[in-house]
Structure 1
Amino acid sequence: MNGNTVLDIQGLSGGYSINRPVLHDISFQVNPGEMVGLIGLNGAGKSTTMKHILGLMNPQKGEIRVRGKKREEDAETYHGSLAFVPESPLLYDEMTVREHLEFTARAYNVPRSDYEERADRLSRIFRMQDKMDSLSTHLSKGMRQKVMIMCAFVARPSLYIIDEPFLGLDPLGIRSLLDFMVELKEGGSSILLSSHILSTIENYCDRFVVLHQGSVIAQGPLEAIEAQAGTAGAGLEEMFYTLVQGRD
């Protein structure tokens, strides 16, 4: 393993049943200041991979390290080094937007001055200034998704795990999210991003990991995916379709 690797997955097999693993010998890395796109069809194993990284599932084989640590070795460092944005917003109905951000900042030991600066900036970036004192139960689905994103970004962990973040966001919200992820990446943060909107993430991710039926069938920068798909001059969507066709 590269000593600077933020996320290192080696030979990961796992799932909900020991006799029928969902993941089969998966290996890939995410380096500092890198955005990696995790792509695949429904049921390919993307969410299962993320659940293993988050510690919600235990590997049957292989290992996962975040900043060089396995979860069982140092759970505090492991979990403090990552933040998660789920596909569906999960909020406390009787807490305001501001309270969600404060709660998250305290969990990550973010200094008060840093929290206030970050919360103010995030509310402006995602156009939520007038909703900061609204209860989450009164927000639209898109706004609830923005709160989840803002909570993850108010912290500054080494690694962001982001699962289908564009669902429910309007076009301005999507652009704001993409631009902010690029800013985080340029600041040294690492991002593992799962999305079905391949045309959107094609020009933002540094590398891609293509999952199919629980196995990695291609990985690397766009040029490497193109070579593995044998589709010169094609976009990411066409490369992906070529890779998965005939493998079912």
Structure 2
Amino acid sequence: MELLHVHIEQAGYEERDNVIRNVAFTLGSGQLVGLIGPNGAGKSTTIKAILGLIKKTKGEVRFSGPQGNYAYIPEHPILYEELTLWEHLELAAAAYGLKADEFRERAEELLAQFKLGDVRHHLTTSFSKGMQQKVMLIIGFLTKPDVYIVDEPFIGLDPKATKELLDTLNAERRRGAAILMSTHVLDTAERICDSFVLLNAGETVAQGDLDQIRSDCGMPGASLFECFHTLT
């Protein structure tokens, strides 16, 4: 089942309205697609266009899952200084309209999974960067949406937290959710992604599974890292 359809003919800003051009792909149920490219390639603009945050966007973005909803997990944590971890979760639950029982069960499950249960009533300003990133992950996973849009999720996470994240992503894929993940961690992306959209200078330079990426760069048997540097 197709959950996200993206066809961006052009998107950009006041000073430059064609930052990205002709970016098109779809996400199906249970699929994890890696959005990769060097700094300045247009990954962030692509994500913002999908989220409807760029006025100067020409094209079509369509969420078409059973619920038609998505969760966005940003690269940099966005937290309120005066709220505890639990208060952040309560605020998110209220915004999403989660029922109290459903919220408590899901929140307890995620707090235990990401090892933050003991600090639920602490202000998030006292947390390390990795802990703050875990808070954003928990908020994102709280509602079990059809589609996840995840921007550089591994930054600030130690190896154990990275495994916890990967386990949660895999569980959500088994549930049927689709995931678009922007990342620079190419060895992990190669291992977990079904397919890739490789951007450079605002355009798609390769797209498909690893075999297709290898074919596009003429390097049979190459790693994603090697293909990345050849194509960009």
TM-score range, shorter chain: over 0.9
1:117 CA drift (Å): 1.6
Q: Give yes or no for the alignment of 1:25 onto 2:22.
A: yes
Aligned CA distance change for structure 1 residues 18 and 30 (closer, same or farther; 3 Å): farther
**Which residue identity does 2:120 align to in structure 1?**
M
Q: Give yes or no for the alignment of 1:104 onto 2:101.
A: no
Q: Which residue of 1 aligns with 2:190?
A: 202
Q: Give yes or no for the alignment of 1:85 onto 2:73.
A: yes
The alignment partner of 1:60 has SS state of strand
Is the Cα contact below 8 Å between 2:110 and 2:138 reproduced in 1?
Answer: yes
Pick the aligned partner of 1:161 from 134, 149, 156.
149
1:60 CA drift (Å): 3.4
Instruction: Give the Cα separation in 2 of the matches to 1:174 and 1:186.
Output: 18
1:11 CA drift (Å): 3.8
* 1:54-93, Cα deviation, whole Å (9 max, x unpaired): 111134321111118xxxxxxxx76xx0111111100011
Q: Which residue of 1 aligns with 2:101?
A: 113
Q: Give yes or no for the alignment of 1:148 onto 2:145.
A: no
1:130-149 equivalent positions in 2, closer than 5 A = 130-149=118-137
Instruction: Give the Cα separation in 2 of the matches to 1:59 and 1:215.
Output: 17
**Which residue identity does 1:44 align to in structure 2?**
A
Is the Cα contact below 8 Å between 2:211 and 2:220 reproduced in 1?
Answer: no
Aligned CA distance change for structure 1 residues 85 and 11 (closer, same or farther; 3 Å): closer
- TM-score w.r.t. the length of structure 1 is 0.89
Instruction: Give the Cα separation in 1 of the matches to 2:13 and 2:55.
Output: 10
- Per mean C-alpha deviation after superposition, the further-off stretch among 100-109 and 33-42 is 100-109
Instruction: Give the Cα separation in 2 of the matches to 1:154 and 1:185.
Output: 15
Is the Cα contact below 8 Å between 1:12 and 1:59 reproduced in 2?
Answer: no
Q: Which residue of 1 aligns with 2:45?
A: 48
**Which residue identity does 1:175 align to in structure 2?**
K
1:118 CA drift (Å): 1.3
Is the Cα contact below 8 Å between 1:18 and 1:60 reproduced in 2?
Answer: no
* 1:168-201, Cα deviation, whole Å (9 max, x unpaired): 1111111110111011011101110000010012
- TM-score w.r.t. the length of structure 2 is 0.95
Structure 1 runs not aligned, ≥5 long: 69-76
Is the Cα contact below 8 Å between 2:8 and 2:57 reproduced in 1?
Answer: no
Q: Which residue of 1 aligns with 2:224?
A: 236
Is the Cα contact below 8 Å between 1:38 and 1:211 reproduced in 2?
Answer: yes
Q: Which residue of 2 aligns with 1:39?
A: 36
**Which residue identity does 1:10 align to in structure 2?**
H
Instruction: Give the Cα separation in 1 of the matches to 2:8 and 2:107.
Output: 39
Q: Which residue of 2 aligns with 1:219?
A: 207
Is the Cα contact below 8 Å between 1:115 and 1:154 reproduced in 2?
Answer: yes
Is the Cα contact below 8 Å between 1:37 and 1:209 reproduced in 2?
Answer: yes
Q: Which residue of 1 aligns with 2:9?
A: 12
Q: Which residue of 2 aligns with 1:124?
A: 112
Instruction: Give the Cα separation in 2 of the matches to 1:208 and 1:235.
Output: 13
The alignment partner of 1:49 has SS state of helix
Number of positions where the alignment pairs a residue of Structure 1 with one of Structure 2: 231
Instruction: Give the Cα separation in 1 of the matches to 2:23 and 2:98.
Output: 34
Q: Which residue of 2 aligns with 1:72?
A: none
The alignment partner of 2:2 has SS state of coil
Write 1 or 2 for the structure with the bigger share of strand.
2
Q: Which residue of 2 aligns with 1:173?
A: 161
**Which residue identity does 2:59 align to in structure 1?**
G
Instruction: Give the Cα separation in 1 of the matches to 2:168 and 2:56.
Output: 32
1:18 CA drift (Å): 6.8
Instruction: Give the Cα separation in 1 of the matches to 2:133 and 2:207.
Output: 29
